[in-house]
Amino acid sequence: MKKYGGCANLLKQTSTDLIYEYCAYKKDDGETECDGRIIIDKDSLEPAESRVTTRRHLRRPNEIVQNNVPVVIPYIKLFSEKKILIENCSNCWKEKGGNDFIAVKLVFEIFNGYQETGKVPKEVHYEV
């Protein structure tokens, strides 16, 4: 059974930034307040690369397939350049860099969601 987790909701989208509110929670504690913030510079979002390949198949020879290949995101560089900012919530788990562990995982989910769909996710969830 998963006991710990977090969620983030898109609060505001400006021309330069995405602002999410987030909370970290323990399932047994009941309701939690979303008082943390994740701020992402829009320039740091990269869509997945689109590659067109030809695939051999017995029933459909020379079928053309378009694959989306995820781009490697330089998270450490983005954090050090302040393109990703985290304001820890009141119920946070701190990690070595001073950022909430759950918030960092939610950042990964935001970037993965963007690469999968090409759209900014309105909400993301993470559970341990």
Structure-token pair, residue 1: 């059974």
SS3 for 111-122 is: HHHHHHHCCCCC
Cα separation of 61 and 59, whole Å?
6
| Per-residue CA distances from 118 to 50, 113, 121 (Å) | 11, 8, 9
Structure-token pair, residue 59: 């029933």
Residue 23 has pLDDT above 80, yes or no: yes
Q: What is the pTM of this model?
A: 0.83
Give 34-91 pLDDT, tens digit per residue.
Answer: 889 999 999 999 887 766 666 666 666 667 666 777 888 999 999 999 999 999 988 8
User: SS3 of 85, please?
Assistant: strand
The 10 Å Cβ neighbour count of residue 6 is 28
Which phi and psi (to 5°) does residue 104 adopt? -65, -40
